[in-house]
Amino acid sequence: MQQKDRFFSFGRYGSSFELTSAGLHILAMGFMLLDHMWATVCSQWDWMTCAGRLAFPIFAFMTVEGYFHTKNFRRYLLRMLAFAMISEIPFNLMYSRSWLYPFHQNVLWTFLLSLLCIRLLEWIRALEKPALFYLTAFLTAALGWVLGTIGRVDYYGEGVLCVLVFYFFRGRRWWHLLGQAVGLFWVNVELLGGLFYSVEFLGMQLEISQQGLAVLALIPIWFYRGQQGLHSKPFQYFCYGFYPVHMLLLYWAVSAANL
């Protein structure tokens, strides 16, 4: 029996497992919470930030899906803008313990910039001029990277590129999945890099990128088959509100511990 109003569903006769959009959102929020708990109150547990690497790619994927499934892009964009502004002070408090921190902006600005890039690309695609689209795609990706880096949004310009990977390789054919895997590897390992863990395997010493663990987000993403699942205004605003509220709670927890 399918459970289309919930977080996951089973195919006919229980032959396949699928995650709904709602299920992916809940999963991504859980990974994000672990990462932010590591950054604030549990810094001794590295496994939490390792798990947290999976959050951003899932949110990036759902941003692209949100664009193609929204009935009103303008309303979607304005809602994202409103919560980006609401979340800025909680993000500053959690990140720097100050009300104003112009050197790093919250992740909703990353998704907002990405949505504008997608909107431009879809407008060009509608002209049905492939050469113009490919040129615009390159220029838009470059501009998105520059603006994300200069604006110092979360994950910087690489965050915008991550969203665009899911836009350019949206679909379920083998080359879409391969493109997503290669694109995520390139963004997270080659561009973002970061901390590496030394692991011995079959007598060989391997270097594993902590940020590269983000590629594992493709596992739950590939279990998604386009079903929305639980959908209501309260749930929608719970997902948006979770971001600023959990950051405020973590800031207060750190402040209380330091008293």
What is the spatial distance between Cα 234 and Cα 188, in angstroms, rounded to a whole number?
34
pLDDT score for 229: 79
pLDDT score for 3: 45
pLDDT score for 128: 93
What is the spatial distance between Cα 227 and Cα 6, in angstroms, rounded to a whole number?
10
Task: Specify whether the CB–CB gap between 110 and 148 falls below 8 A.
Answer: yes
User: Rounded to the nearest 5°, which phi and psi values hold at 38?
Assistant: -60, -40
Q: Among candidates 217, 220, 222, 214, which has minimal Cα distance to 190?
A: 214
Sequential pLDDT tens for the chain (259 residues): 344 556 555 554 344 678 999 999 999 999 999 999 999 999 899 999 999 999 999 999 999 999 999 999 999 999 999 999 999 999 999 999 899 998 999 999 999 999 999 999 999 999 999 999 999 999 999 999 999 999 999 999 999 999 999 999 999 999 999 999 999 999 999 999 888 888 877 778 888 899 999 999 999 999 998 888 777 888 889 999 999 999 999 999 999 888 6
Give buried/exposed letters for 156-188 (b at 16+ CB in 10 A, else e).
Answer: bbbbbbbbbbbbbbbeeeeeeeebbeebbbebb
Integer-rounded Cα Rg, in Å, for the chain is 19
Residue type, position 129, single letter:
K
pLDDT score for 9: 57
Cα–Cα distances in Å, from 68 out to 158, 167, 231?
22, 10, 16
pLDDT score for 254: 92
Burial (CB < 10 A; 0-12, 13-18, 19+), residue 106, is: buried
pTM of the model: 0.92
Helices 107-125 and 130-150, interaxial angle, to 10°? 160
What is the spatial distance between Cα 128 and Cα 231, in angstroms, rounded to a whole number?
34
Cα–Cα distances in Å, from 182 out to 158, 175, 214, 253?
14, 10, 12, 39
**201 sits in which H/E element:** strand 196-201
